[in-house]
Structure 1
Amino acid sequence: MMTSLFSVFEPSSSIMNLPLNWISTFIGMLFLPFVFWASPSRWLLIWFKIVETLHKEFKTLLSSKHPGVTLLFISLFSLIVFNNFLGLFPYIFTSSSHLAMTLSLSMSIWLTLMLFGWLKHSQHMFAHLVPQGTPNLLMPFMVIIESISNLIRPGTLAVRLAANMIAGHLLLTLLSQVGPTILSSTILMILIFSQILLLLLESAVAVIQSYVFTVLSTLYMSEVN
């Protein structure tokens, strides 16, 4: 039963044993040429406003010493939000609902920050293991707790994004499978209306989870610096 439920999230299109569904990860790049239009559309102006707002917020969370780093996190937000939204369309593979993608993103960011922090700011990283004002008796326990919380960060980032995306898609799939078995037109209309509301909720979740993933990555980087 569980295999049949989660089979909708598995790659199925392939040529010469190459999974083509993962190509949907780069569909967002098709929107790049619109940036160079002489007269930008209203949707593009809205996107520019979102990028400007994110740039200001990330700059505040980080510091004025690294103005170009915000471009990295804006690109990360764009990649995740495009994949989350494209997964809401029919017959498009949602790569952000798989740990293969989310764990790759979170692990690469976390590992890079850890290497940079321990190599360049070792004293600060050691001091960060013991919060200020901790009693001497609790210091060994706080080092263990802080070390564990630091080690599980990439896992929590990856699982949070994948679980939130797969939960909504799974609920939409289950509701769509119930539709053909309903004979009452009233219940069918209620089902369609509930699916529309759930789709709107999933659209909000797609943006929120992209924002949460990026902001947490930004906060992790601010701790290293």
Structure 2
Amino acid sequence: MMTNLFSSFDPSTNLSTNLNWISSIIGLMIIPSMFWLIPSRLSLLWIKITSTLHKEFKVLINNKKSQGSTLILISLFSIILFNNFMGLFPYIFTSTSHMVLTLTLALPLWMSFMIYGWINNTIHMLAHLVPQGTPSVLMPFMVCIETISNIIRPGTLAIRLSANMIAGHLLMTLLGNTGSSLSIIMINFLIITQILLLVLESAVSVIQSYVFAVLTTLYSSEVN
């Protein structure tokens, strides 16, 4: 019995340790070794996905000196997607629903972009604080607004991912807890609803990992 609604997101086990965080790497144990050795349908599908992402990120970055950074962004997309999908399995902790993980991914990337931009492209970074065509009277206010919007970027990245993961899982948990008090007919409707929600959560897992990677790419393109 849950003590409260959010206890399903508590990374604790019966051993009173944080063993549930192993869900972030447990997939490496179940990936077959043949996936790494010979071309298979699974490996060819993943190569197709990564090559498509590489082409898209390369266009967004639009800087020949930063083409290798697409590998970092594809890896970022992969780890978020993997953790999102692992959270859909029963009794596996959803690590991306915690700000500990999402902010750890967003904050260092944003900080590195800012340090690189202000050191190497200081004039370019200052020009971004005042949009083109802004009246002289509004320039001080625009600098404040752009500065604040720039500072909260890692927070919005982290909160967006965590909130979307929590929302769907909470809805599925709420519906699942009502099953014991329903009739047979209503349980059938509940099962269909849960299946539809699971499909929706699978789509959200892909979309949110893609959004996180694309927004990070756009933030990096602004400092070049």
The TM-score, its normalising length taken from structure 1, stands at: 0.93
Q: Is residue 221 of structure 1 aligned with residue 220 of structure 2?
A: yes
What runs of 5+ residues in structure 1 fail to find an aligned partner?
none
What is the distance in 2 between the residues matched to 1:148 and 1:67? 29
Aligned 8 A contact 2:35 2:42 in 1? no
1:144-170 alpha-carbon deviations (Å, 9 max, x no partner)? 000000011011000000000011011
Letter in 2 for 1:97: S
1:174-215 alpha-carbon deviations (Å, 9 max, x no partner)? 1110011112x2211111000000000000000000000000
What is the distance in 1 between the residues matched to 2:34 and 2:149? 42
The residue number in structure 2 matching 1:51 is 50
Q: Is residue 161 of structure 1 aligned with residue 158 of structure 2?
A: no
Bigger shift: residues 174-183 or 195-204: 174-183
What is the distance in 2 between the residues matched to 1:139 and 1:105? 33
Letter in 2 for 1:208: I
Q: Is residue 202 of structure 1 aligned with residue 201 of structure 2?
A: yes
The TM-score, its normalising length taken from structure 2, stands at: 0.93
Q: Is residue 145 of structure 1 aligned with residue 145 of structure 2?
A: yes
Calculate the aligned-residue CA RMSD, in Å: 1.7
Aligned 8 A contact 2:87 2:94 in 1? yes
What is the distance in 1 between the residues matched to 2:74 and 2:32? 14
1:70-110 alpha-carbon deviations (Å, 9 max, x no partner)? 00000000000000001000111110000111011111111
Residues 1:221 and 1:170: Cα distance change in structure 2 (over 3 Å)? same
Aligned 8 A contact 1:14 1:21 in 2? no
Q: Is residue 130 of structure 1 aligned with residue 130 of structure 2?
A: yes
What is the distance in 1 between the residues matched to 2:79 and 2:17? 22
Residues 1:111 and 1:34: Cα distance change in structure 2 (over 3 Å)? farther
What is the distance in 1 between the residues matched to 2:172 and 2:130? 45
What is the distance in 1 between the residues matched to 2:6 and 2:180? 20
Residues 1:45 and 1:217: Cα distance change in structure 2 (over 3 Å)? same
Residues 1:5 and 1:172: Cα distance change in structure 2 (over 3 Å)? same
What is the distance in 2 between the residues matched to 1:146 and 1:140? 10
Q: How many residues of Structure 1 are paired with residues of Structure 2 in the alignment?
A: 221
What is the distance in 2 between the residues matched to 1:88 and 1:188? 21
Q: Is residue 24 of structure 1 aligned with residue 20 of structure 2?
A: no
